[in-house]
Structure 1
Amino acid sequence: MPQVSFATPSLCVTFPRLLSRFLPSLPPTVRDMDVPPLFQNRFILTGYRPTGQPWRCYALSLFQKHNETLNVWSHLLAAVCMALRFTVFTILQEGGVLGFQLQGPEGQGISLDVSSLPLVFYVFAAITYLCCSAAAHLLQSHSEQVRYLLYLLDSVGVAIYQCGCALVLYLYSANNAWTQSMLGQIFLPATTIFAWFSCTASCYAKLHVRQLYPLQVILMAATYLLDISPVVHRLATYSWRRSPALLLHLLQVMLLLLSAFFFSCPVPERFAPGRFDIIGHSHQLSHILLSLCMLAQQEALLHDFLWRRPGLVRAFGEERLLLASASFPCVVLCCAATALAMRRRGQAHLMKNKDTEGGR
């Protein structure tokens, strides 16, 4: 009679070993006193990842419990939701919301759709910012130099999002009376300059946090107030019953103001240091609120786009729309050039600090 063997197949033994070889167990988190001062956050005492580990440890820490986990996941999930929502919206519009039209004027070829191009830039800018922010929070614990480079990338992402946001709010969400006002006439050049200034100040702040942090916050606040000025005017002068987007605009303004509050104030961890290290500290709350704000903003802009699209070219003219859209890649190039210049300065600054500490 043949005997049945219950021995574990060799594959079931070797596969976990191979998996553990390529995906090793992650080092445990440490206290604030065990990481360099640059990586310490006020009133956050535990949940820090040790520096100097292999890159895969920080990549796999996406699934580890530490004080940056919610910061990473909140923006990653928001980026996925925005991409999926825009994809569904594009499919429902039969491919006409990608900046291009599949049918040209004579029924053949592909033609540029200037009315939807700003919306494409906005979605690209929002997803770029969210991904840059998630990458910075996920990988920044590797070293001081990596932290600085990643937060330069994060600063560029913020500026790109600010410019993309200003572009679509001006074209899709502003009233005609506001567009023809003095502020409306200078709005796009002003927001472009403010976005670049904000990026530059943020890049400097990564080197001199204590000295330039107030300037960074002031410029970011001024840029945002300028960006939402068409929405504020519309909320104050337009009948809410005539536009379902206005409630969404009001929601995104309130969410971003709350996000700015938690970004600037270490609440609630100030009142209970160590209690909100993993879940609930101010930066996490700021991330979650900002993610919700961007989702509400996107939904409002999709409503506004459908409302304004039929007469957009007639109202602004094709050349003016192309010129306005060109401000977006200009900001991207200027901010990227600024970050590259600051990268060299930052490396020299970090090397100087190391030499000073070594001399001591």
Structure 2
Amino acid sequence: MATIVMEKIGRVFISLQQIRQVPRMLTEAAPSMPGTLRDNEVPHYFRERYICTGYRPLDQNWRYYFLSIFQRHNETINVWTHLLAFFLFLARFGQLTETVDFVHDPHSWPLLILILSSLIYSAFSVVAHLLGSKSELYHHVFFFLDYVGVAQYQYGSAIVHFYYAVDESLHRYVHGIFMPVATVLSCLSCLGCCCGKYCSHNLPRPVLKVGQLGPSMLACMWDSSPLMKRLMSWSTTSNDPALIFHFGQVAFFLISAFFFTFPLLEHYLPGRCDFVGQSHQIFHVLVSCCTLCQIHAYYLDYVGRRELYSRLHSRDEATLFVGLYVVTLVGCTVIAVFMLRKAKKAFDFKTKSKFT
């Protein structure tokens, strides 16, 4: 018995020794990482307000930017917050596949679209924050991709708000137009964000904010109207288990929108939030919590409100909404490509001007 115990202790000791060698092995395997830069050492279009240090150098090889996920810079937390969120959404999806027939039940497809759009927006955000420092062109490429992710997630939210949360009185007035309008507003939101990025250094910041946030705010108000009507009719006698998660998603969304709009901490602590504490990092965490609440709330609605939504929405309608999601995704991609071509022409013209 003592021999067996000693053998197990020996194995644990060897494993610990191997684990201690991992940092040295990674250091030897990875190339030497260039140090980060101050804001006055990078072009103006990479600078964020009140963020003074931690900028990665431009025009490095792709391996550097991929490996910079393990480096301490001012985008590290932005990358990891949505990377962890992606895996949380994926794990939740795996759990739901055990109880929800996403293949054969059309009434589950809106929930499926919400989950897929959540995975897409978090993945696109990771790519943008990880690789967007490569060059000015790639900065626009990856952040335009990010805006496509945000816009298609707006549609994913709209479909579950309308499909599972709408009541009969509102459905009577908007059932033929709600989702087509949601598609148009998602595309306008993508266009506004892309134009804002493209014109970010030619227009005053307040004008840019209106151009970027205006279409998104309009989309948000339209998309969430069925949920808002439902929450306004809430009473303390209600025994609906999904309501607490619906209130949670609204609260997380409103607070996240505040931190997205106002860089509060950086403004009052300039230079102290370069690595951790940025408002955008807080926004990432809060919007991920909003999405998790949203997924769980609409899963509970999918289970508990089936009699209502199956009466209001036909199986063909679910198929139509899936088709509109594809239209939204394609439309936003076309907008991003169009704006990218305009940006590339501007970069090429600026480059030629330097040599003439």
TM-score (norm 2): 0.87
1:25 pairs with 2:29: no
Q: How does 1:115-194 map to 2 (within 5 A)?
A: 115-180=107-172, 182-183=173-174, 185-194=176-185
Distance 1:324 1:139 in 2: 33
**Are the counterparts in 2 of residues 313 and 321 from structure 1 also a CA contact under 8 Å?**
no
In structure 2, the partner of 1:82 is: 89
- Gaps of at least 5 residues in structure 1 are 1-14, 102-112
- One-letter amino acid of the counterpart of residue 97, structure 1: D
Distance 1:345 1:209 in 2: 14
1:345 match: secondary structure: helix
Distance 1:173 1:126 in 2: 19
Distance 2:255 2:353 in 1: 41
Distance 1:50 1:271 in 2: 27
Distance 1:350 1:214 in 2: 25
Taking a change above 3 Å as real, the CA distance of residues 330 and 238 of structure 1, as seen in their structure-2 partners, is same
Taking a change above 3 Å as real, the CA distance of residues 97 and 209 of structure 1, as seen in their structure-2 partners, is farther
Kindly state the Cα deviation for residue 204 of structure 1 after the two structures are TM-superposed: 1.5
What is the alpha-carbon root mean square deviation over aligned residues? 2.2
In structure 2, the partner of 1:72 is: 79
- One-letter amino acid of the counterpart of residue 121, structure 1: I
Kindly state the Cα deviation for residue 308 of structure 1 after the two structures are TM-superposed: 2.8
* One of 69, 72, 83 as aligned partner of 1:62: 69
In structure 2, the partner of 1:10 is: none
1:142 match: secondary structure: coil
- One-letter amino acid of the counterpart of residue 233, structure 1: K
In structure 2, the partner of 1:303 is: 300
1:233 pairs with 2:240: no
**Are the counterparts in 2 of residues 269 and 276 from structure 1 also a CA contact under 8 Å?**
yes
Q: After superposition, what is the alpha-carbon deviation per residue over 1:153-197, rounded to whole angstroms, capped at 9, x for unaligned?
A: 1111111101111011110122222222x3455321211110011
**Are the counterparts in 1 of residues 73 and 275 from structure 2 also a CA contact under 8 Å?**
yes
Distance 2:144 2:150 in 1: 10
Residues matched between the structures, number: 331
Aligned-residue sequence identity (percent) comes to 36
In structure 2, the partner of 1:39 is: 46
Distance 1:17 1:275 in 2: 30
- One-letter amino acid of the counterpart of residue 229, structure 1: S
- One-letter amino acid of the counterpart of residue 232, structure 2: A
1:214 pairs with 2:215: no
**Are the counterparts in 2 of residues 167 and 325 from structure 1 also a CA contact under 8 Å?**
no
Q: After superposition, what is the alpha-carbon deviation per residue over 1:55-74, rounded to whole angstroms, capped at 9, x for unaligned?
A: 11111111111111111111
In structure 2, the partner of 1:262 is: 259
1:97 pairs with 2:101: yes
Taking a change above 3 Å as real, the CA distance of residues 349 and 205 of structure 1, as seen in their structure-2 partners, is same
TM-score (norm 1): 0.86
Answer with 243-252 or 145-154: which moved more: 243-252
1:203 pairs with 2:194: yes
1:193 match: secondary structure: helix
Kindly state the Cα deviation for residue 355 of structure 1 after the two structures are TM-superposed: 2.7
Structure 1 stretches of 4+ with a deviation exceeding 6 A read: 15-18
**Are the counterparts in 2 of residues 30 and 50 from structure 1 also a CA contact under 8 Å?**
yes
Distance 1:279 1:187 in 2: 40
Distance 1:57 1:158 in 2: 27
1:235 match: secondary structure: helix
Kindly state the Cα deviation for residue 147 of structure 1 after the two structures are TM-superposed: 0.5
Distance 1:252 1:18 in 2: 43
Kindly state the Cα deviation for residue 358 of structure 1 after the two structures are TM-superposed: 4.3
* One of 276, 281, 285 as aligned partner of 2:282: 285
**Are the counterparts in 2 of residues 82 and 123 from structure 1 also a CA contact under 8 Å?**
yes
Q: After superposition, what is the alpha-carbon deviation per residue over 1:204-262, rounded to whole angstroms, capped at 9, x for unaligned?
A: 12210253442111111111121111111100113453211111111111111111111
- Gaps of at least 5 residues in structure 2 are 1-21
- One-letter amino acid of the counterpart of residue 89, structure 2: M
Kindly state the Cα deviation for residue 28 of structure 1 after the two structures are TM-superposed: 1.4
Distance 2:49 2:85 in 1: 26
Distance 1:169 1:16 in 2: 47
- One-letter amino acid of the counterpart of residue 205, structure 1: G
Kindly state the Cα deviation for residue 144 of structure 1 after the two structures are TM-superposed: 0.6
